[in-house]
Amino acid sequence: MPSYSVAQIRLAEQSALASGRALMPLAGAAAAAFVAARFPPSTSVLALAGPGNNGGDALEAASRLLAQGFDVLVVLPSGSDKLPSDAARAWTGWQAGGGRTLEAWPGDFAPDLVIDGLFGIGLNRPLDAAWQSLVDTVNDWQGPVLALDVPSGIDADTGSALGRPVRARWTLSFIAPCHGVTRPGAGRDAAGECHLATLGVAPPQADPTRE
């Protein structure tokens, strides 16, 4: 499968944004459609939303699934105060739709599915103790996980583990797959089945690496 560096994917993303394409709602819609194609509306979903745009993607997906009748709960460990602008708009939409939000994994909620929107391709340092504890809770739960872009705890360029990563059943890449989920190693092992939603964005211009 062709794969790309984070820098290449970011350039394609920036070009699409500069042309006026709203990528976060498209990513959320793609993630929600992925879930709806595999689970009935009675499914309970726990969406983990991190502090950046990956969290915004998860919030957009959560809003759409809630509107379709899914039982959805969002965990937003870092709170909403410092979300980047697009993710903040996704947060506002989630609240406006009546979504429920907690700051930690709820002990009394056993979801049928977890959406991992904690870090995506932006993680470049080891998980700290608090994030690692949340990831460990996800893995200890042992249910199906859909990771958005990259399982949290994986370096998207190298595929190296930055701690103990989320172990996903599926990874849904947006725009293009990164090296970290296609090259043999921790990233590919953590990613499970790899899927792609291009969001209507042309692939990165530089020559991809083929595995």
109 or 128: which carries more pLDDT confidence?
128
Mean pLDDT, residues 100-109: 87
pLDDT given for residue 211 in this prediction: 45
Asked if CATH classification 3.60.20.30 holds for the domain at 2-210, the reply, yes or no, is: no
pLDDT given for residue 82 in this prediction: 85
pLDDT in tens, 16-48: 999 999 999 999 999 999 999 999 998 999 999
pTM: 0.95
> What band does 106 get if pLDDT is binned at 50, 70 and 90?
confident
Q: Would you state the structure tokens that stand for residue 164, as one six-digit string?
A: 């103990």
Answer yes or no: are the C-beta atoms of 146 and 176 closer than 8 Å: no
Mean pLDDT, residues 182-198: 96
Sequence spans of domains, the chain: 2-210
pLDDT given for residue 206 in this prediction: 56
What average pLDDT does the structure give for the chain?
94
d(CA 69, CA 92): 19
Nearest Cα neighbor of 155 from 127, 185, 121, 131 is: 121
> What band does 210 get if pLDDT is binned at 50, 70 and 90?
very low
pLDDT in tens, 66-78: 999 999 999 999 9
Q: How far is CA 76 from CA 102, 177, 188, in A?
A: 6, 26, 26
**Would the pLDDT of 128 be above 60?**
yes
